Amino acid sequence: MARLHARFHELIWPHLAHVLRVAQILTGNTADAEDLAQETMMKAFRAIDQFQPGTDARKWLTAILRNARVDRLRAAGASLNDVSLEQLDVDVADQSPPSEPEWERPQELLESFSDAQVIAAMQRLPEEIRWTLLLVDVEGLDHAEAAKVLDVPVGTIKSRAHRGRGMLRTMLGWAREVKS
């Protein structure tokens, strides 16, 4: 048992801040985020003997976090914000990026928004699109890795990322207009 405790504290515990950050973005509520992060870490602790050496602990924890989130939503009788893409307020499938010069430098543009503005915009996205952007754009997973964590085809990740980025761009563009 002491070996499992040491393994957990060495390999998993250092990723607590990551789990808490993702939980905060998902829930939008500090108390709920802390509860979800605690549940995730407890599940990881109980399953530490299943963690394969040499695999990415953050990806493993993210998968546990996602499952814990899904379980909580199901228990609460909520959906995952499953919305058909046709029902979304923002349709970006046929839109090209805005032609304003600042959109040609996306990193600079993104840095012009506060973390709170970006997080607020992400929280307005449907859950599965939010997860996709968290994994691909925030955590830096490639499409195949994100597909594995979310247990969906790679093409679904590509589609969700494209749509989600467009939705986020639209929301942040609106926030920029309001700010001006």
Give pLDDT, residue 76: 81
58: which residues sit within 8 A by CB, 6+ positions away? 15, 18, 139
Average pLDDT score over the chain: 81
| Tokens coding 134 | 């968290």
pLDDT of residue 87: 46
**Cα gap 135→74, rounded to integer Å:** 22
pLDDT tens-digit series, residues 94-121 = 444 444 545 455 556 667 788 788 888 8
Is residue 1 within a helix (H) or strand (E), and if so which, with residue range? none
Q: Boundaries of CATH 1.10.10.10 in the chain?
A: 85-179
DSSP-H helix ranges across 83-134: 106-111, 115-123, 127-133
Place of tokens 């543009």: 109
Q: Is the model more confident about 74 or about 42?
A: 42
Judge whether residue 153 has pLDDT over 90: yes
Residue 93 CA to residue 48 CA, distance in Å, equals 42
Instruction: Give residue 103's Cα distance to chain centre.
Output: 23
| Integer Cα distance of 12 and 21 in angstroms | 15
CATH architecture observed for domain 85-179 = Orthogonal Bundle (1.10)
Lowest average pLDDT, out of 5-9, 11-15, 20-24, 85-89, goes to 85-89
pLDDT digits (tens, 9 = 90+) for 13-57: 999 999 998 898 888 888 999 999 999 999 999 999 999 988 899
CATH number of 2-75: 1.10.1740.10
pLDDT value at residue 177: 55
Side chain identity at residue 100, one-letter code: E
Encoded tokens for 117: 């503005």
DSSP code of 86? G
- What tokens does 53 get? 């050496």
Per-residue confidence (pLDDT) for residue 176, from 0 to 100: 56
Q: How many CA atoms lie within 13 A of 178 on its CB side?
A: 8
Query: In the chain, which segments carry CATH 1.10.1740.10?
Result: 2-75
Give the pLDDT score at 2: 84
Spatial separation of the C-alpha atoms in residues 111 and 153, rounded to whole Å: 31
Alpha carbons 68 and 39: distance in angstroms, whole number: 7
